[in-house]
Structure 1
Amino acid sequence: MNKKFAYVGGLGMLAVITTEFGIIGILPQIATYYNIAIDKAGYLLSVFALIIALTGPIMTLVASKYDRKKVMLLSIFLFIVTGVVSFFQPPFWLLLIVRILPAFLQPVYISTALSVAVSGAENKYKNELMSIVFSGIAIAMVTTVPFATWLASLYTWKYSFIIQSIVSILSFVIIYSILPSLPVKVKKSFSHHLSILKNPIFLVSTIMNIFMITSWFSTYSYFADYLGKAKNMSNTMISYMLFLFGIMGVFSVRIAGKMLNKNVTQTTLLFLLGTILIPILLYYSGGNTITTIVVVAIWGFLYTPSFLNASTYMISSVPNHLEFANSLATSTGNLGVSLGTMIGGGIIVSKGISNVPWVGLLFGILAIIMVFTRVLMERKSKKKPRYA
C-alpha cells in the first residue's frame, strides 16, 4: 500500500476545498461589499456546485483517456487562476465567472486523485487510502478555511483569496515534483462507464447522496451568517467556530475511513443521523454560547465525512467502476450543495435564518429512507452486498 500518492492527492483536495468552501465564511462581507442580498451572494457557492453537477461526469469521461498527472495539474492551475483574479475584487459578474472556471475540472481532479491513490492497492486498504485523500477536506476546515475567514475579519474579504492561491500553488508544485507520469494503460469505453446508470441500487445510492448533501448544506452554506445572526457571534468568533468545526472533522474523517472498511451501510447511516440531530441541537441551544460551541463541535464531527461516505456508499454498489462512480458521487453531491444553498437561501429570505436548519432535518429524513430502500433492494435481490 503506497500512501504517498494518497497524501499528494489529499494536498490537492485541500486546495480544491479551500477554493470551493472558503467562500462560506466571507459571504456576509461579499454581500455587503456588492450591496446584494445574502442569497444572491450564495450564488458563488451554488453556481460553482451546479456546474460540477451538470458537467462533472462528462468531463471525467473525456479526461479518463489522458495522463492522470497532467489532468491533476491542469485542474489545480484553474484554481490558481480563480484565487488570483478574485483577490482584485472584480465586478460581481466577473467574480462569478472566475468561480465557475475550476468547477469544470473539480470532479475530474477528485476522481483522478482517488484512482491514483488506490491503484495497485488491495481491496481491504482502498477505503483507508480514499479517506487520506478526503482528509484534505477536514484539514481545509481546520486550517485554510477558518484562517481565510479570520484574515478577512481583520482586513477585508479579498485577503481570503490569498490563502486560496497559496495553497493551490503549493499543491501544483508538489504534484509536479512528486507524481510520476501516469498514462492510462487500459482505456475503457464510454458505454462501459455508463452501464452503471442501469443499476437500480446505484441509482438509489445516488439519490441518497443528493438528499444527504442537500441536508447538510442548507445550513452549512450559511454557517457564518447563521452564527452571526441567530447566535449573535462576531466575525472573529465565527472564525474560531470554523476552526473547531475543522478540528473535529480531522478526527472524524480518519475514524470514518476505518469504519467504512468494516461496514459501509452502517457507517453511512451513523453519520447521516447527524442531519436530524444537529437541527434539533441548534434549536435547543438557543443563545447560549457554550452550548452552541458544543453543538458546532458535534456538527463538525458528523458532517465532515459526508463526501467520503457518499463516494464509498455509491462505489460499493459498483466496485468495478471506481473512477466514474466517484465522479458521479462528486457531481450529484455538488447538486446537493447547489440545492441546499438555494433552498436554504430562500428560507432565510422568506422565513428568517433561524428556521434554516429545519430544511436539513427534512432532507436528512429523505436520505435515511433511501438507505433503508437500498437495504430492502439488496435483500430482495438475494445477493449479499459486497461491502455492506
Structure 2
Amino acid sequence: MSINKGLIALAFGGLAIGMTEFTMMGILPDIAADIEIDIPTASNLIGLYALGVVVGAPTLVAATSKYPAKKVLLFLMLLFFVFNAIFTFAPNHWSLFASRFISGLPHGAFFGIGSVVAAKLAKPGKEAQAISMMFTGMTIANLAGVPLGTYIGHHYSWRFTYGAISLLGLITFLAIYFWMPVIPANKNNNVVQQISYFKRWDAWLMVAVIAIGTGGLFAWISYISKLVTTVSGLSPDQVSTVMILIGAGMLVGNLIGGRLADRISPSKAAITSFAAMACCLLILFFVAHITALAYPMAFITGMIAFSIGSPLQMMLINNAKGAETFAAAGGQASFNIGNSLGAYFGAIPIAYGFAYNYPSLIGVAMAATGAVLAYIFLQKVEKKQNQKGRKFESLEELEQA
C-alpha cells in the first residue's frame, strides 16, 4: 500500500494523542511532588482525561458534522495544542484538572473522524490497513514517545514533557494543513440521524464488544510494573525495557490487525484477536514467575492485544451507514470505558491479596467475552447485512433471508 501524506498527518495525531494519554501513568509521582498533592489526588488526572474522551467524542462530532473533515481535524488539533500548553504551565491542581479534562475532548472525535477519512483515502479493499496507519502513531508513542517522555519527566521536569507533547500537536496541525486533501462535507449529514444510530441494539452490542473485550488489555497492562517486579522478579530499572517491548509489539500487532481485517473481514479478525488475547493472557498467568519469559511475553502480549484496533474501527464504520463518524468516535469512548473497566476489575484480586498475575485472569474472561460478543455480531448483524446486499433469485429466498 502506497502511503498517502494525509495518512502520515493522521499518524502524527495518533502519536501526539498517544503520548498525552499514556505518558501520564509514568510521571504521575513527579507531578504530584511538584504541585504538592498526594498520588490518589493526582491520579484524578488519568480519570479526567478519560472522562474528557467519553464526553468529547459524541459532542464534538455532533457539533462539527456539517463542516469538512479537514477543518474539523484542524480545529481538534488546535484545541489539543492550546490546552496541553495550558496544562504545561498550570500553577495548581485545579487548573491542571480543568486543562487535563479539556485536552481529552478532541481524542475520540479525532480518531473517529480520522478513521473515516483514512478509509476514504485508501484504495478499495485496503481501508483497514489505512486506519492502522493512523493508529501506528499511537503505537510509536508507546514504543518510543512514552519512555522518552517518562525519562524527561523523571530527570528534568514533567512540564518539559508536556510542553513537547503540546508542540507535537502544533506539528500535527501543520501536517494536516499542508498534507491533508480537502474532503467535501456531506451536506446530507443529519445530527439527529447520527445520534439515532445509538437507538439500535447492534450499536450497543458494539459498545459492549469494545468496552468489555479491550478491558482484557487494560486488566493486564494497568498492573504491568508490579507484575514484572513482584512476580517475574525483574528490577524496577528494567520496567522501561518491558514497556518498550510492549510498544514494539503494539506497533507490529496494529499492522497485522489491519491486514487481517482486510483479508478475512473485520468481524472475523476481531474474533481471532480477542480469542488470541484470551489464550495469551492465560499462558501469561501460568508463566509470569519465569523471569526469562517476561521480555518475550511483553512483546507477544502487546502485539496480540493491539491487533484489535483496526478491525473494531472497521466494524463500527461498516455497521453505521450514514453515521460512520459518530459511531467511530463512540468506539473511542467505548475503548476508554474498557480502560476503566479493565483497571477496576483487575484490581479486585489484588485487593483480596492475590499476586499481580491474577489480573491477567480477569483479562482472560474479558477478552473471551469480547470474542463471544463479536461472534454474535458476526452471526446476527454482519451476515444479515450481507444477505440483504445480495441479489435473490426468488421472493421465497428473500423472505427466508
TM above 0.5, yes or no, is yes
Cα distance in 2 for partners of 1:225, 1:42 equals 17
SS at match of 2:125: helix
Distance 1:380 1:175, change over 3 A: closer
Equivalent in the alignment of 2:299 = 297
Aligned-pair CA distance for 1:62: 0.9
Aligned-pair CA distance for 1:211: 0.4
Aligned-pair CA distance for 1:295: 0.9
CA contact (8 A) 2:112 2:331 kept: no
Equivalent in the alignment of 1:311 = 313
CA contact (8 A) 1:378 1:384 kept: no
Distance 1:120 1:270, change over 3 A: closer
Equivalent in the alignment of 1:271 = 273
Q: TM-score w.r.t. structure 2 length? A: 0.84
Q: CA offsets, 1:343-385, max 9 Å, x none?
A: 4456555546613333222222221221222233248848549
Structural mapping, 1:120-139, within 5 Å: 121-139=122-140
Cα distance in 2 for partners of 1:103, 1:224 equals 25
Q: TM-score w.r.t. structure 1 length? A: 0.86
* 1:140 has 2:141 as partner: yes
Distance 1:279 1:380, change over 3 A: closer
Cα distance in 2 for partners of 1:359, 1:30 equals 30
Q: CA offsets, 1:139-168, max 9 Å, x none?
A: 211121122123334445444324423322
Residue type at the aligned position of 2:363: G
Q: CA offsets, 1:78-134, max 9 Å, x none?
A: 333344344457433432222111222222211222233233655412222111112
Aligned-pair CA distance for 1:298: 0.8
Cα distance in 1 for partners of 2:94, 2:232 equals 31
Equivalent in the alignment of 2:394 = none
CA contact (8 A) 2:214 2:339 kept: yes
- Root-mean-square deviation (CA, aligned residues, Å) is 3.0
Moved more, 128-137 or 43-52: 43-52
Moved more, 184-193 or 341-350: 341-350
* 1:362 has 2:365 as partner: yes
Aligned-pair CA distance for 1:320: 4.8
Structural mapping, 1:216-235, within 5 Å: 216-235=217-236
Distance 1:379 1:4, change over 3 A: closer
Distance 1:91 1:192, change over 3 A: same
Moved more, 244-253 or 152-161: 152-161
Distance 1:267 1:61, change over 3 A: same
CA contact (8 A) 1:153 1:235 kept: no
Distance 1:199 1:158, change over 3 A: same
Cα distance in 2 for partners of 1:92, 1:235 equals 28
Distance 1:162 1:382, change over 3 A: closer
Q: CA offsets, 1:267-307, max 9 Å, x none?
A: 11222124423433333334433211111011110122333
Residue type at the aligned position of 1:251: V
Distance 1:28 1:353, change over 3 A: farther
Equivalent in the alignment of 1:54 = 55
SS at match of 2:140: helix
Moved more, 167-176 or 180-189: 180-189
Mark the structure with the bigger radius of gyration.
2
Aligned-pair CA distance for 1:28: 5.1
Gaps of 5+ in 1: none
CA contact (8 A) 2:267 2:377 kept: no
* 1:177 has 2:178 as partner: yes
Cα distance in 2 for partners of 1:385, 1:160 equals 52
Aligned-pair CA distance for 1:198: 3.9
Distance 1:290 1:201, change over 3 A: same
Distance 1:314 1:183, change over 3 A: closer
Distance 1:163 1:382, change over 3 A: closer
Residue type at the aligned position of 1:238: V
